[in-house]
Structure 1
Amino acid sequence: MTHEISSSRHTGAALIAMSALLWSTAGLVSTGLFEHVHPLTVGFWRVALAVPTLLILARAAARWRPITRRAAGLLALIGLTQAGYQGFYFLGVSELGAGRATLVALCGAPVLISVLGAAVLKDRPGRLEWAAVPVAVAGAALLIGAPAPGVEGSVLGYAAAGAAALSYAVFALTARELAGLYHPFQITAIGFAVAALTLLPLAAGAGLVPAQGWGTLAYLGLVPTALAYALFFFGMRTVTATASGVLVLLEPAGAAVLAALLLGERYGALGLVGGALLLGAVLMVNLAKR
């Protein structure tokens, strides 16, 4: 029985790691979009295009269950926090630039997940998981690149990136509550429908229908959104919130590798150290005993 539980946790960790690597492709493929499509419009279509696929998969899996009143509230919260994450993150990017905004959002999320998970969900992460959090944050910071000394960003930008981190943390904790009760396709379909409806008026104001880029938008909706989030919810069934917060930091690692291979970007010694720390944190999560 102990071996089966351990195997299940390792499988869950692998699924979350895979979802993070799929997420890492989103930034790469969307690089050219922002020249002619507003970021809010990209965010809207990313979640909106994922919804039909997730509805079809949920029906095909024959796992659609009636939604209780409490679950409806949690699903609405998933949608609102997903919309908030994208909106706040892109606002942070516009104010601080992608590096600093990503640093604050992605490195702040696991810390908030650990604190809120222990306080709200009464998670009991192991010592290795707790130790993995600062190691992963330090690794992500080195990999993304800390701002140069003396460079200051706007208060609005830092507040937006911090709000993005909080939005993701609440999203992850809410997902943990629902992961064992409903099929992942059902959770993502309903949650993303709420996110799309929330972003719709904002995207409409920014320009709802882009003249080009639909192939890229379709990829964003199907692969790093529909598929990746479904894998994430499957993994969350057996992995603690703290562990998931560390594992998703594979996203910047994957983005760094793809950028190096496809865009010719190079990373110095500190970037390599950061990547090693990040992968070490993932290993610590997988070796954790609970």
Structure 2
Amino acid sequence: MHHPTDPSAARTGRHAFAALIVANLFLALGPWMVRLADVGPVAAGFWRLALAVPLLLLLARPGAGGRVRSEWGLLALIVLGGLFFAADLAAWHYGILRTKLANATLFGNSSSFLFALYGFIMVRTLPKPMQAGAFALAIIGTALMLGNSYELSPRHFAGDLFAILAGFFYFLYLVVIDRARKRLGPMQVLALATTAGALPMLLFALALGETVMPGDWTSLVFLSLSSQVIGQGLLVYAMGHLSPVVVGIALLTQPAVTALIGWLAYDERLSATDIFGALLICAALVLIRLPGRESKAE
């Protein structure tokens, strides 16, 4: 955690919010790339991690920047985070095939609300009016965006359950990363977590009998670079400088960007309600960053 009186921390963290927004733009490309891949959805998650490992380890090497500490407890915590992330990807990708995309998006993003609530619990205080207003706008905006296409049905139950499970695992991953970033640089944290999650993802894919080896690597390489290296890289960096409340609300921009991709790539039309919901999420981001905005030190 940085302190306001530390000039170097202030300099390194001044672009954290912009990095967080860009991170969500790249992370939102993930479902599109999974859809384009010619391997199973869990296998796509494996390649997302495995292809990123060499580059992340290179970026995380001593002398490449960032803080380096060799503490076994910390390393074990980050490995656990990697396992949570692997479980999140496997459950969510598996659930996508068994429920509507809107259901999977809604339940998968439950981690955003949980992580924001975790932020309030950590500072042991009720949300300020500005924070509560931003949180409410984000919830309403998400509900409006997904309300038209969301559908509860017995035939979707298994997929919904896996999507809910994915959201919970991603919340646990975010908590681990938030704690680890207080003691280690972003690339070191991400490289360790990504490496730890790759093998379990491969085992999941093989257990499900999925096609693992692709005929075309294009979408998988793009998935790895965009979602894991750039998206997660910027997210983990930002989490070292912003509170869980800000991060949690910002994560809700992903459904809006995914909807925009669906419109541009697949002609999935956006209704007036969808657009209004997206605008409310944008308003929540503005509100959370108005004067009096919180910082990690609050």
- Tell me the TM-score normalized by structure 2: 0.86
2:222 is matched with: 219
The question of whether the paired residues in 1 share the 8 Å contact of 2:33 and 2:220 is answered with: no
1:136 aligned onto 2:138:
yes
In the aligned structure 2, how far is the partner of 1:149 from the partner of 1:229? Answer: 30
Please list every run of 5 or more consecutive structure 1 residues that lacks an aligned counterpart in the other structure. Answer: none
1:235 is matched with: 238
The question of whether the paired residues in 1 share the 8 Å contact of 2:142 and 2:278 is answered with: yes
1:146 Cα offset (Å)? 4.2
Please list every run of 5 or more consecutive structure 2 residues that lacks an aligned counterpart in the other structure. Answer: none
In the aligned structure 2, how far is the partner of 1:256 from the partner of 1:83? Answer: 25
2:205 is matched with: 203
In the aligned structure 2, how far is the partner of 1:19 from the partner of 1:123? Answer: 28
Instruction: Give RMSD over aligned pairs.
Output: 2.5
- Indicate the SS of the match to 1:260: helix
1:26 to 22, 27, 30: 30
In the aligned structure 1, how far is the partner of 2:14 from the partner of 2:69? Answer: 30
- Indicate the SS of the match to 1:217: helix
1:122 is matched with: 123
Describe the superposition over 1:131-172 as per-residue Cα deviations: whole angstroms up to 9, x where unpaired: 322321221232234446674554333222111111111111
CA 134–211 in structure 1, closer or farther in 2 if over 3 Å, else same: same
1:285 aligned onto 2:288:
yes
Write the mapping of 1:64-213 to structure 2, written as runs, cut at 5 A.
65-106=68-109, 108-119=110-121, 121-122=122-123, 126-147=128-149, 151-205=153-207, 206-207=209-210, 209-213=212-216
1:198 Cα offset (Å)? 1.6
- Indicate the SS of the match to 2:39: coil
The question of whether the paired residues in 1 share the 8 Å contact of 2:145 and 2:275 is answered with: yes
1:85 maps to a residue whose letter is D
CA 64–260 in structure 1, closer or farther in 2 if over 3 Å, else same: same
1:254 Cα offset (Å)? 1.6
The question of whether the paired residues in 1 share the 8 Å contact of 2:90 and 2:204 is answered with: no
The question of whether the paired residues in 1 share the 8 Å contact of 2:103 and 2:150 is answered with: no
Describe the superposition over 1:247-277 as per-residue Cα deviations: whole angstroms up to 9, x where unpaired: 0111122222233233322111110111111
Between the two proteins, what is the percent identity of the paired residues? Answer: 24
- Indicate the SS of the match to 1:96: coil
In the aligned structure 1, how far is the partner of 2:66 from the partner of 2:119? Answer: 28
- Indicate the SS of the match to 2:184: coil
In the aligned structure 1, how far is the partner of 2:254 from the partner of 2:152? Answer: 28
In the aligned structure 1, how far is the partner of 2:48 from the partner of 2:198? Answer: 9
- Tell me the TM-score normalized by structure 1: 0.88
1:17 aligned onto 2:21:
yes
Describe the superposition over 1:111-134 as per-residue Cα deviations: whole angstroms up to 9, x where unpaired: 211333333x33656442333223
1:249 is matched with: 252
Give the count of matched residue pairs.
Answer: 285
